[in-house]
Structure 1
Amino acid sequence: MTTLHPTVERAQALIEFERYDQALELLGRHLAEDPGDVRAWVKIGYCRFHTEGPRQAKEAADEALKLDPEDYGALMLRARAIVDDGGWLVVEPVLREAVRVAPEESYPRAMLADAMWRSALVTHARNTGPGKLSYAEIDRVTAEAANVVMEALRLGPEDLYAHEIAQRIAEAAGNGTVSDQLDEAILRIDPTHSEALGRQTKKAAEAPGVNAVQAAELYAGALAGRPDSPGMRQQLDRATYRLLRGTRWLALLCLVTAGAMINLFPSDDHPAPELPIPIGQRLWSVVIMGAIWGFGAWRRYHKLRAGVQLNVRSLIRRGRWARVVLAQSGWAMLCALLVAGPPWTTLATPRLLFWAGLVPVVATIWFDKKKAR
Protein backbone atom coordinates (compact mmCIF):
# COMPACT_ATOMS: atom_id res chain seq x y z
CA MET A 1 0.00 0.00 0.00
CA THR A 2 1.32 3.46 -0.94
CA THR A 3 2.20 5.63 2.05
CA LEU A 4 0.39 8.95 2.00
CA HIS A 5 2.14 12.21 2.72
CA PRO A 6 0.93 13.64 6.06
CA THR A 7 -0.59 16.63 4.23
CA VAL A 8 -2.53 14.32 1.93
CA GLU A 9 -3.74 12.35 4.96
CA ARG A 10 -5.04 15.57 6.53
CA ALA A 11 -6.74 16.45 3.25
CA GLN A 12 -8.36 13.00 3.17
CA ALA A 13 -9.77 13.60 6.65
CA LEU A 14 -11.26 16.89 5.44
CA ILE A 15 -12.77 15.14 2.40
CA GLU A 16 -14.44 12.58 4.65
CA PHE A 17 -16.14 15.46 6.45
CA GLU A 18 -17.07 17.00 3.04
CA ARG A 19 -14.91 20.05 3.67
CA TYR A 20 -13.73 20.07 0.07
CA ASP A 21 -12.65 23.71 -0.18
CA GLN A 22 -10.30 23.38 2.79
CA ALA A 23 -8.92 20.12 1.38
CA LEU A 24 -8.33 21.78 -2.00
CA GLU A 25 -6.43 24.63 -0.37
CA LEU A 26 -4.27 22.20 1.61
CA LEU A 27 -3.57 19.98 -1.41
CA GLY A 28 -2.79 23.00 -3.60
CA ARG A 29 -0.07 24.16 -1.21
CA HIS A 30 1.33 20.62 -1.05
CA LEU A 31 1.47 20.24 -4.85
CA ALA A 32 3.26 23.59 -5.13
CA GLU A 33 6.07 21.96 -3.18
CA ASP A 34 5.73 18.43 -4.63
CA PRO A 35 3.96 18.47 -8.04
CA GLY A 36 4.73 14.78 -8.59
CA ASP A 37 2.52 13.42 -5.79
CA VAL A 38 0.01 11.23 -7.64
CA ARG A 39 -2.16 10.70 -4.57
CA ALA A 40 -2.51 14.44 -4.09
CA TRP A 41 -3.73 14.85 -7.69
CA VAL A 42 -6.30 12.09 -7.18
CA LYS A 43 -7.58 13.71 -3.97
CA ILE A 44 -7.80 17.05 -5.77
CA GLY A 45 -9.82 15.31 -8.46
CA TYR A 46 -12.37 14.03 -5.95
CA CYS A 47 -12.62 17.47 -4.36
CA ARG A 48 -13.21 19.05 -7.76
CA PHE A 49 -15.73 16.34 -8.57
CA HIS A 50 -17.89 17.50 -5.66
CA THR A 51 -17.31 21.24 -6.02
CA GLU A 52 -16.69 22.04 -9.68
CA GLY A 53 -17.95 19.07 -11.69
CA PRO A 54 -16.78 15.95 -13.55
CA ARG A 55 -14.80 17.74 -16.24
CA GLN A 56 -12.52 19.44 -13.72
CA ALA A 57 -12.17 16.11 -11.90
CA LYS A 58 -11.15 14.46 -15.16
CA GLU A 59 -8.42 17.08 -15.67
CA ALA A 60 -6.97 16.23 -12.25
CA ALA A 61 -7.15 12.51 -13.06
CA ASP A 62 -5.28 13.14 -16.31
CA GLU A 63 -2.52 14.96 -14.41
CA ALA A 64 -2.20 11.96 -12.08
CA LEU A 65 -2.08 9.54 -15.03
CA LYS A 66 0.70 11.55 -16.65
CA LEU A 67 2.76 10.80 -13.56
CA ASP A 68 1.65 7.14 -13.31
CA PRO A 69 -0.41 5.73 -16.23
CA GLU A 70 -1.22 2.61 -14.19
CA ASP A 71 -2.47 4.25 -11.02
CA TYR A 72 -5.71 2.49 -10.08
CA GLY A 73 -7.17 5.41 -8.14
CA ALA A 74 -6.54 7.84 -10.99
CA LEU A 75 -8.07 5.44 -13.53
CA MET A 76 -11.24 5.00 -11.46
CA LEU A 77 -11.49 8.75 -10.88
CA ARG A 78 -11.21 9.34 -14.63
CA ALA A 79 -13.85 6.66 -15.31
CA ARG A 80 -16.25 8.13 -12.80
CA ALA A 81 -15.74 11.63 -14.20
CA ILE A 82 -16.40 10.42 -17.75
CA VAL A 83 -19.58 8.62 -16.68
CA ASP A 84 -20.93 11.59 -14.76
CA ASP A 85 -20.29 13.73 -17.83
CA GLY A 86 -22.58 11.45 -19.84
CA GLY A 87 -19.88 9.21 -21.25
CA TRP A 88 -21.10 5.66 -20.57
CA LEU A 89 -20.50 4.80 -24.25
CA VAL A 90 -16.84 5.93 -24.25
CA VAL A 91 -15.65 4.92 -20.78
CA GLU A 92 -14.99 1.25 -21.58
CA PRO A 93 -11.25 1.60 -22.48
CA VAL A 94 -10.50 3.33 -19.17
CA LEU A 95 -12.32 0.62 -17.21
CA ARG A 96 -10.56 -2.18 -19.09
CA GLU A 97 -7.26 -0.59 -18.12
CA ALA A 98 -8.40 -0.40 -14.50
CA VAL A 99 -9.33 -4.11 -14.61
CA ARG A 100 -5.90 -4.93 -16.05
CA VAL A 101 -4.14 -2.91 -13.35
CA ALA A 102 -6.24 -4.35 -10.49
CA PRO A 103 -7.57 -7.75 -11.63
CA GLU A 104 -8.49 -8.71 -8.05
CA GLU A 105 -10.94 -5.80 -7.62
CA SER A 106 -14.65 -6.45 -8.27
CA TYR A 107 -15.84 -2.85 -8.58
CA PRO A 108 -14.10 -1.94 -11.88
CA ARG A 109 -15.36 -5.19 -13.44
CA ALA A 110 -18.92 -4.38 -12.34
CA MET A 111 -18.60 -0.88 -13.75
CA LEU A 112 -17.14 -2.31 -16.97
CA ALA A 113 -20.11 -4.68 -17.28
CA ASP A 114 -22.43 -1.71 -16.72
CA ALA A 115 -20.75 0.19 -19.56
CA MET A 116 -20.64 -2.87 -21.82
CA TRP A 117 -24.33 -3.76 -21.65
CA ARG A 118 -25.40 -0.15 -22.17
CA SER A 119 -23.06 0.20 -25.15
CA ALA A 120 -24.11 -3.17 -26.60
CA LEU A 121 -27.80 -2.28 -26.53
CA VAL A 122 -27.22 1.17 -28.05
CA THR A 123 -24.98 -0.23 -30.79
CA HIS A 124 -27.48 -2.99 -31.61
CA ALA A 125 -30.35 -0.49 -31.75
CA ARG A 126 -28.38 1.76 -34.09
CA ASN A 127 -27.55 -1.15 -36.39
CA THR A 128 -31.05 -2.66 -36.50
CA GLY A 129 -33.14 0.50 -36.43
CA PRO A 130 -36.14 1.36 -34.28
CA GLY A 131 -38.20 -1.39 -32.73
CA LYS A 132 -38.55 -3.24 -29.48
CA LEU A 133 -35.90 -5.89 -28.83
CA SER A 134 -37.01 -9.35 -27.81
CA TYR A 135 -35.71 -10.91 -24.62
CA ALA A 136 -33.73 -13.40 -26.71
CA GLU A 137 -32.01 -10.57 -28.61
CA ILE A 138 -31.18 -8.71 -25.42
CA ASP A 139 -29.82 -11.90 -23.85
CA ARG A 140 -27.57 -12.47 -26.88
CA VAL A 141 -26.40 -8.85 -27.11
CA THR A 142 -25.60 -8.53 -23.40
CA ALA A 143 -24.03 -11.99 -22.96
CA GLU A 144 -20.46 -10.64 -22.77
CA ALA A 145 -21.42 -8.05 -20.15
CA ALA A 146 -23.20 -10.77 -18.16
CA ASN A 147 -20.04 -12.86 -18.13
CA VAL A 148 -17.98 -9.89 -16.90
CA VAL A 149 -20.40 -9.11 -14.07
CA MET A 150 -20.45 -12.77 -13.04
CA GLU A 151 -16.68 -12.57 -12.64
CA ALA A 152 -17.16 -9.40 -10.57
CA LEU A 153 -19.57 -11.30 -8.31
CA ARG A 154 -17.05 -14.09 -7.92
CA LEU A 155 -14.37 -11.59 -6.86
CA GLY A 156 -16.72 -9.61 -4.62
CA PRO A 157 -19.63 -11.74 -3.34
CA GLU A 158 -20.68 -8.84 -1.08
CA ASP A 159 -20.24 -6.15 -3.75
CA LEU A 160 -23.64 -4.44 -3.85
CA TYR A 161 -22.94 -2.62 -7.11
CA ALA A 162 -22.02 -5.87 -8.88
CA HIS A 163 -25.31 -7.42 -7.75
CA GLU A 164 -27.22 -4.37 -8.98
CA ILE A 165 -25.67 -4.56 -12.46
CA ALA A 166 -26.19 -8.33 -12.67
CA GLN A 167 -29.86 -7.84 -11.72
CA ARG A 168 -30.38 -5.15 -14.35
CA ILE A 169 -28.88 -7.32 -17.07
CA ALA A 170 -30.95 -10.35 -16.03
CA GLU A 171 -34.15 -8.29 -15.84
CA ALA A 172 -33.53 -6.71 -19.27
CA ALA A 173 -33.03 -10.19 -20.76
CA GLY A 174 -36.31 -11.40 -19.22
CA ASN A 175 -34.64 -13.85 -16.84
CA GLY A 176 -37.07 -13.44 -13.97
CA THR A 177 -35.72 -16.29 -11.85
CA VAL A 178 -32.14 -14.96 -11.82
CA SER A 179 -33.41 -11.41 -11.33
CA ASP A 180 -35.40 -12.46 -8.25
CA GLN A 181 -32.44 -14.37 -6.83
CA LEU A 182 -30.23 -11.31 -7.26
CA ASP A 183 -32.85 -9.10 -5.61
CA GLU A 184 -32.85 -11.44 -2.63
CA ALA A 185 -29.05 -11.25 -2.49
CA ILE A 186 -29.20 -7.44 -2.68
CA LEU A 187 -31.67 -7.31 0.21
CA ARG A 188 -29.48 -9.65 2.22
CA ILE A 189 -26.59 -7.19 1.81
CA ASP A 190 -28.78 -4.08 2.22
CA PRO A 191 -32.28 -4.80 3.65
CA THR A 192 -33.37 -1.21 2.89
CA HIS A 193 -32.28 -1.19 -0.77
CA SER A 194 -35.02 0.91 -2.38
CA GLU A 195 -35.13 -0.59 -5.87
CA ALA A 196 -34.86 -4.25 -4.84
CA LEU A 197 -37.38 -3.77 -2.05
CA GLY A 198 -39.76 -2.06 -4.46
CA ARG A 199 -39.46 -4.82 -7.07
CA GLN A 200 -39.99 -7.63 -4.58
CA THR A 201 -42.91 -5.87 -2.91
CA LYS A 202 -44.55 -5.13 -6.26
CA LYS A 203 -44.16 -8.75 -7.29
CA ALA A 204 -45.81 -9.94 -4.06
CA ALA A 205 -48.59 -7.32 -4.30
CA GLU A 206 -49.43 -8.21 -7.91
CA ALA A 207 -49.44 -11.96 -7.37
CA PRO A 208 -52.71 -13.76 -8.20
CA GLY A 209 -55.21 -13.66 -5.36
CA VAL A 210 -53.75 -10.62 -3.60
CA ASN A 211 -56.51 -8.09 -2.96
CA ALA A 212 -56.26 -4.32 -2.47
CA VAL A 213 -56.03 -4.59 1.32
CA GLN A 214 -53.17 -7.08 1.18
CA ALA A 215 -51.37 -5.04 -1.49
CA ALA A 216 -51.66 -1.86 0.58
CA GLU A 217 -50.36 -3.70 3.65
CA LEU A 218 -47.35 -4.98 1.68
CA TYR A 219 -46.46 -1.54 0.33
CA ALA A 220 -46.94 0.11 3.73
CA GLY A 221 -44.63 -2.46 5.31
CA ALA A 222 -41.96 -1.91 2.67
CA LEU A 223 -42.32 1.85 2.94
CA ALA A 224 -41.78 1.67 6.69
CA GLY A 225 -38.30 0.32 5.98
CA ARG A 226 -37.59 2.84 3.21
CA PRO A 227 -39.81 5.93 3.71
CA ASP A 228 -37.92 7.96 1.09
CA SER A 229 -38.88 5.68 -1.81
CA PRO A 230 -41.15 7.56 -4.26
CA GLY A 231 -41.83 4.39 -6.25
CA MET A 232 -43.25 2.48 -3.28
CA ARG A 233 -45.21 5.53 -2.14
CA GLN A 234 -46.81 5.68 -5.58
CA GLN A 235 -47.64 1.99 -5.44
CA LEU A 236 -49.16 2.43 -1.97
CA ASP A 237 -51.30 5.26 -3.36
CA ARG A 238 -52.51 2.99 -6.15
CA ALA A 239 -53.40 0.18 -3.76
CA THR A 240 -55.14 2.69 -1.48
CA TYR A 241 -57.13 4.02 -4.42
CA ARG A 242 -58.24 0.46 -5.16
CA LEU A 243 -59.49 0.30 -1.57
CA LEU A 244 -61.47 3.49 -2.02
CA ARG A 245 -62.96 2.23 -5.28
CA GLY A 246 -64.34 -0.68 -3.30
CA THR A 247 -66.59 1.70 -1.35
CA ARG A 248 -68.53 2.42 -4.55
CA TRP A 249 -69.31 -1.25 -4.98
CA LEU A 250 -70.58 -1.37 -1.40
CA ALA A 251 -72.80 1.65 -2.08
CA LEU A 252 -74.14 0.05 -5.27
CA LEU A 253 -74.82 -3.16 -3.35
CA CYS A 254 -76.83 -1.18 -0.81
CA LEU A 255 -78.72 0.57 -3.61
CA VAL A 256 -79.59 -2.71 -5.31
CA THR A 257 -80.57 -4.23 -1.95
CA ALA A 258 -82.91 -1.30 -1.25
CA GLY A 259 -84.48 -1.62 -4.71
CA ALA A 260 -84.96 -5.37 -4.33
CA MET A 261 -86.52 -5.20 -0.87
CA ILE A 262 -89.29 -2.88 -1.99
CA ASN A 263 -89.50 -4.55 -5.43
CA LEU A 264 -88.99 -1.45 -7.58
CA PHE A 265 -89.41 -3.42 -10.79
CA PRO A 266 -92.36 -5.80 -10.37
CA SER A 267 -93.10 -8.68 -12.74
CA ASP A 268 -95.71 -11.37 -13.13
CA ASP A 269 -93.79 -13.62 -10.76
CA HIS A 270 -93.12 -10.78 -8.31
CA PRO A 271 -96.05 -8.35 -8.41
CA ALA A 272 -95.86 -4.78 -7.14
CA PRO A 273 -95.88 -4.43 -3.36
CA GLU A 274 -98.66 -2.79 -1.45
CA LEU A 275 -97.62 0.80 -0.73
CA PRO A 276 -96.54 2.30 1.51
CA ILE A 277 -94.09 -0.39 2.63
CA PRO A 278 -94.49 -1.25 6.33
CA ILE A 279 -92.06 0.58 8.58
CA GLY A 280 -90.61 -2.69 9.87
CA GLN A 281 -89.57 -3.76 6.37
CA ARG A 282 -88.11 -0.32 5.68
CA LEU A 283 -86.10 -0.39 8.89
CA TRP A 284 -84.90 -3.90 8.06
CA SER A 285 -83.58 -2.59 4.75
CA VAL A 286 -81.62 0.10 6.57
CA VAL A 287 -80.23 -2.47 9.01
CA ILE A 288 -79.01 -4.66 6.14
CA MET A 289 -77.33 -1.65 4.48
CA GLY A 290 -75.68 -0.78 7.77
CA ALA A 291 -74.39 -4.34 8.05
CA ILE A 292 -72.96 -4.17 4.52
CA TRP A 293 -71.03 -1.01 5.39
CA GLY A 294 -70.08 -2.25 8.84
CA PHE A 295 -68.46 -5.44 7.60
CA GLY A 296 -67.42 -4.19 4.19
CA ALA A 297 -65.84 -0.84 5.01
CA TRP A 298 -65.73 0.20 8.66
CA ARG A 299 -64.45 -3.12 10.00
CA ARG A 300 -61.94 -3.47 7.16
CA TYR A 301 -60.67 0.08 7.64
CA HIS A 302 -60.10 -0.35 11.36
CA LYS A 303 -58.18 -3.59 10.80
CA LEU A 304 -55.73 -1.85 8.46
CA ARG A 305 -52.29 -1.06 9.81
CA ALA A 306 -51.79 2.53 10.91
CA GLY A 307 -49.65 3.41 7.89
CA VAL A 308 -52.41 2.42 5.46
CA GLN A 309 -55.05 4.30 7.46
CA LEU A 310 -52.90 7.42 7.36
CA ASN A 311 -52.40 7.03 3.62
CA VAL A 312 -56.16 6.68 3.06
CA ARG A 313 -56.72 10.05 4.71
CA SER A 314 -53.71 11.55 2.94
CA LEU A 315 -54.83 10.33 -0.49
CA ILE A 316 -58.30 11.76 0.05
CA ARG A 317 -56.72 15.16 0.73
CA ARG A 318 -54.28 14.94 -2.20
CA GLY A 319 -56.20 13.06 -4.88
CA ARG A 320 -59.08 14.56 -6.83
CA TRP A 321 -60.28 11.16 -8.03
CA ALA A 322 -60.14 9.78 -4.51
CA ARG A 323 -62.57 12.51 -3.46
CA VAL A 324 -64.74 11.82 -6.52
CA VAL A 325 -64.94 8.14 -5.57
CA LEU A 326 -66.03 8.96 -2.02
CA ALA A 327 -68.55 11.52 -3.26
CA GLN A 328 -70.05 8.93 -5.62
CA SER A 329 -70.20 6.39 -2.81
CA GLY A 330 -71.96 8.92 -0.60
CA TRP A 331 -74.40 9.86 -3.35
CA ALA A 332 -75.30 6.23 -4.14
CA MET A 333 -75.74 5.51 -0.44
CA LEU A 334 -77.96 8.56 0.01
CA CYS A 335 -80.13 7.42 -2.89
CA ALA A 336 -80.33 3.94 -1.33
CA LEU A 337 -81.54 5.40 1.96
CA LEU A 338 -84.07 7.59 0.19
CA VAL A 339 -85.33 4.60 -1.78
CA ALA A 340 -85.79 2.39 1.29
CA GLY A 341 -86.56 4.88 4.06
CA PRO A 342 -89.59 7.05 3.29
CA PRO A 343 -93.16 5.65 3.09
CA TRP A 344 -93.58 6.03 -0.69
CA THR A 345 -97.11 5.75 -2.07
CA THR A 346 -95.97 5.22 -5.68
CA LEU A 347 -92.91 3.58 -7.24
CA ALA A 348 -92.11 6.44 -9.63
CA THR A 349 -90.02 8.53 -7.24
CA PRO A 350 -87.96 5.67 -5.70
CA ARG A 351 -87.30 4.37 -9.24
CA LEU A 352 -85.99 7.80 -10.24
CA LEU A 353 -83.78 7.86 -7.15
CA PHE A 354 -82.54 4.36 -7.95
CA TRP A 355 -81.43 5.31 -11.44
CA ALA A 356 -80.01 8.62 -10.22
CA GLY A 357 -77.79 6.74 -7.78
CA LEU A 358 -76.87 3.92 -10.16
CA VAL A 359 -76.09 5.57 -13.49
CA PRO A 360 -73.42 8.16 -12.46
CA VAL A 361 -71.44 5.57 -10.52
CA VAL A 362 -71.59 2.80 -13.12
CA ALA A 363 -70.72 5.28 -15.87
CA THR A 364 -67.37 6.11 -14.24
CA ILE A 365 -66.36 2.76 -12.73
CA TRP A 366 -64.77 1.52 -15.96
CA PHE A 367 -63.58 4.98 -16.96
CA ASP A 368 -61.27 5.30 -13.96
CA LYS A 369 -60.31 1.61 -13.72
CA LYS A 370 -56.91 2.39 -15.26
CA LYS A 371 -56.17 4.75 -12.35
CA ALA A 372 -56.12 1.80 -9.97
CA ARG A 373 -53.41 0.02 -11.96
Structure 2
Amino acid sequence: MSAPHPLVEQASALMDLERYDGARALLARRLGEEPTDVDGWVYLAGCHLSVRECEEVLTATGEVLALAPEDFDAHHMRTYALRRLGRPEEALAEAQETVRIDPQRWKGFAALSEALGAGSRAGPRRSTRRRPPYGSNRTRSARTTRCGRPRR
Protein backbone atom coordinates (compact mmCIF):
# COMPACT_ATOMS: atom_id res chain seq x y z
CA MET A 1 0.00 0.00 0.00
CA SER A 2 1.47 3.34 -1.03
CA ALA A 3 1.38 6.63 0.85
CA PRO A 4 -1.28 9.12 -0.19
CA HIS A 5 -0.34 11.82 -2.68
CA PRO A 6 0.86 15.10 -1.05
CA LEU A 7 -2.31 16.93 -2.19
CA VAL A 8 -4.44 14.27 -0.50
CA GLU A 9 -2.37 14.62 2.68
CA GLN A 10 -2.83 18.39 2.60
CA ALA A 11 -6.56 17.94 2.09
CA SER A 12 -6.64 15.58 5.07
CA ALA A 13 -4.96 18.23 7.23
CA LEU A 14 -7.52 20.82 6.12
CA MET A 15 -10.32 18.38 6.95
CA ASP A 16 -8.88 18.01 10.45
CA LEU A 17 -9.22 21.79 10.76
CA GLU A 18 -12.80 21.60 9.39
CA ARG A 19 -11.80 23.61 6.30
CA TYR A 20 -13.79 21.48 3.90
CA ASP A 21 -13.96 23.95 1.00
CA GLY A 22 -10.18 24.14 0.82
CA ALA A 23 -9.90 20.36 1.11
CA ARG A 24 -12.40 19.87 -1.70
CA ALA A 25 -10.46 22.25 -3.93
CA LEU A 26 -7.22 20.33 -3.37
CA LEU A 27 -8.95 17.00 -3.95
CA ALA A 28 -10.60 18.27 -7.13
CA ARG A 29 -7.17 19.33 -8.36
CA ARG A 30 -5.71 15.92 -7.52
CA LEU A 31 -8.58 14.00 -9.10
CA GLY A 32 -8.27 16.19 -12.21
CA GLU A 33 -4.65 15.04 -12.49
CA GLU A 34 -5.30 11.40 -11.58
CA PRO A 35 -8.97 10.32 -11.68
CA THR A 36 -8.08 6.79 -10.50
CA ASP A 37 -6.69 7.95 -7.12
CA VAL A 38 -8.77 5.90 -4.67
CA ASP A 39 -7.51 7.85 -1.64
CA GLY A 40 -8.52 11.11 -3.29
CA TRP A 41 -12.06 9.87 -3.87
CA VAL A 42 -12.32 8.49 -0.32
CA TYR A 43 -11.23 11.80 1.20
CA LEU A 44 -13.59 13.69 -1.10
CA ALA A 45 -16.45 11.49 0.10
CA GLY A 46 -15.36 12.21 3.68
CA CYS A 47 -15.52 15.96 2.99
CA HIS A 48 -19.03 15.64 1.63
CA LEU A 49 -20.14 13.47 4.54
CA SER A 50 -18.77 15.99 7.04
CA VAL A 51 -21.03 18.70 5.63
CA ARG A 52 -23.96 16.30 5.05
CA GLU A 53 -23.89 16.39 1.24
CA CYS A 54 -25.16 12.84 1.03
CA GLU A 55 -25.83 12.61 -2.71
CA GLU A 56 -22.25 13.72 -3.36
CA VAL A 57 -21.03 11.07 -0.89
CA LEU A 58 -22.78 8.42 -2.96
CA THR A 59 -21.23 9.79 -6.16
CA ALA A 60 -17.69 9.86 -4.73
CA THR A 61 -17.97 6.43 -3.10
CA GLY A 62 -19.39 5.09 -6.34
CA GLU A 63 -16.16 6.16 -8.03
CA VAL A 64 -14.15 4.45 -5.28
CA LEU A 65 -16.09 1.22 -5.60
CA ALA A 66 -15.68 1.22 -9.39
CA LEU A 67 -11.90 1.26 -8.77
CA ALA A 68 -11.74 -0.82 -5.56
CA PRO A 69 -14.95 -2.79 -4.88
CA GLU A 70 -13.70 -4.04 -1.50
CA ASP A 71 -12.88 -0.61 -0.05
CA PHE A 72 -14.00 -0.62 3.59
CA ASP A 73 -14.15 3.18 3.97
CA ALA A 74 -16.32 3.66 0.89
CA HIS A 75 -18.91 1.15 2.08
CA HIS A 76 -18.76 2.59 5.60
CA MET A 77 -19.44 6.15 4.40
CA ARG A 78 -22.19 4.96 2.08
CA THR A 79 -23.94 3.42 5.09
CA TYR A 80 -24.22 6.80 6.82
CA ALA A 81 -25.11 8.72 3.67
CA LEU A 82 -27.91 6.29 2.85
CA ARG A 83 -29.24 6.51 6.40
CA ARG A 84 -29.33 10.29 6.20
CA LEU A 85 -31.15 10.06 2.87
CA GLY A 86 -33.83 7.89 4.47
CA ARG A 87 -32.90 4.68 2.66
CA PRO A 88 -32.56 2.20 5.58
CA GLU A 89 -32.64 -1.02 3.53
CA GLU A 90 -29.74 0.10 1.36
CA ALA A 91 -27.88 1.40 4.41
CA LEU A 92 -28.26 -1.99 6.06
CA ALA A 93 -26.89 -3.77 2.98
CA GLU A 94 -23.87 -1.44 2.92
CA ALA A 95 -23.24 -1.96 6.64
CA GLN A 96 -23.37 -5.73 6.18
CA GLU A 97 -20.89 -5.44 3.33
CA THR A 98 -18.62 -3.33 5.53
CA VAL A 99 -18.54 -6.05 8.19
CA ARG A 100 -18.00 -8.75 5.56
CA ILE A 101 -15.00 -6.90 4.11
CA ASP A 102 -13.22 -6.46 7.44
CA PRO A 103 -14.82 -8.15 10.45
CA GLN A 104 -11.93 -7.03 12.69
CA ARG A 105 -12.81 -3.32 12.53
CA TRP A 106 -15.27 -2.07 15.11
CA LYS A 107 -16.51 0.74 12.85
CA GLY A 108 -18.27 -1.77 10.64
CA PHE A 109 -20.17 -3.23 13.57
CA ALA A 110 -21.09 0.24 14.83
CA ALA A 111 -22.49 1.10 11.40
CA LEU A 112 -24.36 -2.20 11.28
CA SER A 113 -25.86 -1.60 14.70
CA GLU A 114 -27.01 1.87 13.72
CA ALA A 115 -28.38 0.65 10.39
CA LEU A 116 -30.37 -2.07 12.15
CA GLY A 117 -31.81 0.53 14.50
CA ALA A 118 -32.60 2.95 11.67
CA GLY A 119 -34.96 0.48 10.03
CA SER A 120 -37.02 -0.02 13.17
CA ARG A 121 -37.79 3.59 14.05
CA ALA A 122 -37.78 7.06 12.60
CA GLY A 123 -35.13 8.65 14.76
CA PRO A 124 -32.69 8.11 17.57
CA ARG A 125 -34.20 6.86 20.77
CA ARG A 126 -33.82 9.16 23.72
CA SER A 127 -34.47 8.41 27.34
CA THR A 128 -37.09 10.59 29.01
CA ARG A 129 -35.55 10.03 32.44
CA ARG A 130 -32.82 12.44 33.44
CA ARG A 131 -29.89 10.96 35.30
CA PRO A 132 -27.15 12.83 37.10
CA PRO A 133 -23.86 12.74 35.24
CA TYR A 134 -21.45 10.03 36.29
CA GLY A 135 -19.25 11.25 39.07
CA SER A 136 -21.53 14.07 40.18
CA ASN A 137 -21.53 14.96 43.87
CA ARG A 138 -24.90 13.31 44.36
CA THR A 139 -23.68 10.05 42.84
CA ARG A 140 -20.43 10.08 44.79
CA SER A 141 -22.04 10.85 48.14
CA ALA A 142 -24.64 8.13 47.65
CA ARG A 143 -21.89 5.68 46.76
CA THR A 144 -19.80 6.46 49.84
CA THR A 145 -22.83 6.16 52.12
CA ARG A 146 -23.65 2.74 50.72
CA CYS A 147 -20.06 1.59 51.18
CA GLY A 148 -20.41 1.74 54.96
CA ARG A 149 -18.71 5.01 55.71
CA PRO A 150 -18.84 5.57 59.47
CA ARG A 151 -21.36 8.14 60.64
CA ARG A 152 -20.56 10.69 63.29
TM class, shorter-chain normalised? 0.7 to 0.9
Matched residue, 1:63: 63
Deviations 1:205-254 (A, max 9, x none): xxxxxxxxxxxx95xxxxxxxxxxxxxxxxxxxxxxxxxxxxxxxxxxxx
Once the two structures are superposed, the pairs formed by residues 76-225 of structure 1 within 5 Å of their partners are 76-119=76-119, 121=120, 199-201=130-132
| CA-CA distance at 1:101 after TM superposition | 0.9
Unaligned runs of 5+ in 2: 139-152
Work out whether residues 48 and 54 of structure 1, in 8 Å CA contact, stay in contact via their aligned partners in 2: yes
Q: Which is greater in Rg?
A: 1
Q: Where in structure 1 do 4 or more consecutive aligned residues deviate above 6 Å?
A: none
**1:83 aligned partner, one-letter code:** R
Evaluate the alpha carbon distance shift between residue 115 and residue 18 of structure 1 in structure 2; reply closer, same or farther with a 3 A threshold: same
**1:76 aligned partner, one-letter code:** H
Q: How many residues align structurally?
A: 133
Deviations 1:48-80 (A, max 9, x none): 234461111111111111110111111111111
Q: CA RMSD in A?
A: 2.8
Structure of greater relative contact order (alpha carbons < 8 Å, 6+ residues apart): 2
Once the two structures are superposed, the pairs formed by residues 30-41 of structure 1 within 5 Å of their partners are 30-41=30-41
* TM-score scaled by length of structure 1: 0.32
* TM-score scaled by length of structure 2: 0.75
Q: For 1:18, what is the secondary structure of its paired residue?
A: coil
Evaluate the alpha carbon distance shift between residue 104 and residue 2 of structure 1 in structure 2; reply closer, same or farther with a 3 A threshold: farther
Work out whether residues 15 and 47 of structure 2, in 8 Å CA contact, stay in contact via their aligned partners in 1: yes
**1:11 aligned partner, one-letter code:** A
Work out whether residues 92 and 116 of structure 2, in 8 Å CA contact, stay in contact via their aligned partners in 1: yes
In proportion to residue count, which structure has more helix? 1
Matched residue, 1:9: 9
Q: For 1:24, what is the secondary structure of its paired residue?
A: helix
| CA-CA distance at 1:99 after TM superposition | 0.5
Work out whether residues 7 and 27 of structure 1, in 8 Å CA contact, stay in contact via their aligned partners in 2: yes
Evaluate the alpha carbon distance shift between residue 201 and residue 51 of structure 1 in structure 2; reply closer, same or farther with a 3 A threshold: closer
| CA-CA distance at 1:199 after TM superposition | 4.6
| CA-CA distance at 1:38 after TM superposition | 0.7
Matched residue, 1:369: none
Unaligned runs of 5+ in 1: 123-164, 169-194, 203-216, 219-373
